[in-house]
Structure 1
């Protein structure tokens, strides 16, 4: 109703102006019978009010849709007002919406093809990396050790690309099962032994073997690996540790991963899960991408786990996954 009145305010003003003007012209011409003039004004006003009521009733659905910007497209296309203006606007919206849907499907197909290409490319790149790793695994010279370290970095980078590309279709690529938490943690620490040795950081696992969780082993292992990689990256001293603690708290199983690194400044803590956010530490450690904790948060959210972070500068960071 408000929109209808706002739109017709100029028409109402023009009507009143022309009515006064006509009565004034008749008055100048000598027709000064007040009752006749009043009767003419009332008759004209009734006709105008009747026209306004008719127009509002025929356009009521149309104005109601315009006053509710959150209306869904299905509601807009429902049968309603048969007024020419409303019908023309619906036809225009249908045409625009059809073009929007076609464009959306086009870009969805392009994105799907791009993700498929990324997946294939990553798998193709993993094959030569595995071959090179097999070729140097029995070599003890320092240069081969350095090559192995760089191969690990490349493998982690490819895994990050692969898991990032798959994140949008997470529901098609996960399998929930009952897992022994200690087994998952030890599997991750074993796969990252070269990273620990290279940086002189050592894992300390204190996880109750009886703790059983419902999760996807592949995605969870990747998330824990990202946390471990961050913990090692921001640990600058030698012979320091990363602590893995698993325990039950109320009805939840909790996994704590604590490092003895540089810690995260308090001002950066609210944004550590934002994509590409590297913060103050990212400017001091050039290998930071800002994607590790973002992926951890996204994976945990999709798996139904909660992730928390606590940190003190110069003392270390604790990341807690609550199952």
Structure 2
């Protein structure tokens, strides 16, 4: 506190010392001025200035010292009331503002929780008629109409699923259950969901899984693969999507490669930013810019590293690198 106080007033202290040196210099140059008188003035000035500094230090820092002593307690209502009327006004004002902000923050937190719960409840309610609609679509005899309605149904299903996971994301760590997970089961289940869309676009899959099981959370990993496969199908036409897994540096690597329109190199660093959509297809109103953002956010607690390689007009390869088993054990034990 003393060091800070002196540093804040260093320019004034230097000015005072320079004035004292000037007096000494004048006494030394002008023999008509008695040296004893000059040094007496300097000594007296130094004594008065030092006393002034000490008195002002205690007076000006008393209130802030009490704040520093309670630096771990942000509730300023418990602080000693300053002696100065001006300091009392400041403390009272700060107390009122702090109380108001705390109350507002609590109210906002409650409103957000209510909004989240209501939205989750709404999503679950919508899933029931959506399931019934899918069963009705399956009974249609007109293949062209059936394909079109299935595609629109799938879009609604994926958007609802994305919204559901987005609201669950802040509490994801409480929901994690790390276990031996079958990549084959998840991948083929997601392909089955996208089957009608893929048939409509004449897209096939080439699946080669050297590694069939990984240590991860089944539900959240399924969401990641759902986003990657959906993007691969969405931006491809009449081609195969290659899915393969292998071991590299004692880690499981899963790649999803498509031969669609690709991504401009300037867009790749921003792919996982919230709300970002392609600059080459910026007029595409169907893109929300949330899929890959959520994918990256979910991959972090799962210790999955995601990289993207792409060339415009050639295709895109997304690589998931899973953690070593010891990495999960170390994280859980911390």
Q: TM-score range by the shorter chain?
A: 0.7 to 0.9
Give the counterpart of 1:169 among 165, 168, 171.
171
Matches within 5 A, 1:128-147: 128-141=129-142, 142-147=144-149
Say whether the 8 Å CA contact 1:248–1:254 is kept in structure 2. Answer: yes
Where 1:278 maps in the other structure, the secondary structure is coil
| Structure 2 equivalent of residue 274 of structure 1 | 273
Alpha-carbon shift at residue 183 of structure 1 (Å): 2.1
Partners of 1:90 and 1:75 lie apart in 2 by 15
Alpha-carbon shift at residue 252 of structure 1 (Å): 0.8
Alpha-carbon shift at residue 175 of structure 1 (Å): 2.0
Matches within 5 A, 1:67-146: 74=72, 84=83, 96-141=97-142, 142-146=144-148
Matches within 5 A, 1:56-67: 56=57
Specify every segment of 5 or more residues in structure 2 that has no aligned partner in the other structure, as ranges.
Answer: 23-32, 323-334
| Structure 2 equivalent of residue 50 of structure 1 | 51
| Structure 2 equivalent of residue 216 of structure 1 | 217
| Structure 1 equivalent of residue 329 of structure 2 | none
| Structure 2 equivalent of residue 153 of structure 1 | 155
Give a deviation string over 1:222-268, Cα, whole Å, max 9, x none: 11111111111111x32x01111011112211110000111111111
| Structure 2 equivalent of residue 28 of structure 1 | none
Where 1:112 maps in the other structure, the secondary structure is helix
1:179 aligns with 2:181: yes
Say whether the 8 Å CA contact 1:3–1:63 is kept in structure 2. Answer: no
Where 2:72 maps in the other structure, the secondary structure is helix
1:251 aligns with 2:253: no
Give a deviation string over 1:111-170, Cα, whole Å, max 9, x none: 111111111111111111111111221222132332222111111111111111111221
Partners of 2:13 and 2:83 lie apart in 1 by 19
Partners of 2:268 and 2:115 lie apart in 1 by 33
Say whether the 8 Å CA contact 2:258–2:317 is kept in structure 1. Answer: yes
Partners of 2:225 and 2:253 lie apart in 1 by 13
Where 1:197 maps in the other structure, the secondary structure is helix
Where 1:205 maps in the other structure, the secondary structure is strand
Give a deviation string over 1:87-127, Cα, whole Å, max 9, x none: 75677655544443332222222211111111111111111
Query: How many pairs align?
Result: 303
What is the root-mean-square deviation in Å for CA atoms of aligned residues?
3.7
Say whether the 8 Å CA contact 2:209–2:244 is kept in structure 1. Answer: yes
Where 2:167 maps in the other structure, the secondary structure is helix
Alpha-carbon shift at residue 281 of structure 1 (Å): 3.8
Q: Quickly say closer, same or farther: Cα 1:312–1:96, change in 2 above 3 A.
A: same
Say whether the 8 Å CA contact 1:262–1:314 is kept in structure 2. Answer: yes
Q: Which moved more, 1:79-88 or 1:168-177?
A: 79-88
Specify every segment of 5 or more residues in structure 1 that has no aligned partner in the other structure, as ranges.
Answer: 21-31
Where 1:307 maps in the other structure, the secondary structure is strand
Partners of 1:62 and 1:269 lie apart in 2 by 53
Say whether the 8 Å CA contact 2:308–2:319 is kept in structure 1. Answer: yes
Say whether the 8 Å CA contact 2:166–2:294 is kept in structure 1. Answer: yes
Partners of 2:163 and 2:71 lie apart in 1 by 36
Matches within 5 A, 1:29-40: 35=36, 39-40=40-41
Where 2:164 maps in the other structure, the secondary structure is helix
Partners of 1:207 and 1:57 lie apart in 2 by 74
Alpha-carbon shift at residue 52 of structure 1 (Å): 0.7
Partners of 1:34 and 1:90 lie apart in 2 by 52
Q: Which moved more, 1:78-87 or 1:295-304?
A: 78-87
| Structure 1 equivalent of residue 29 of structure 2 | none
Say whether the 8 Å CA contact 2:147–2:196 is kept in structure 1. Answer: no
TM-score by length of 2: 0.77
Where 2:141 maps in the other structure, the secondary structure is coil
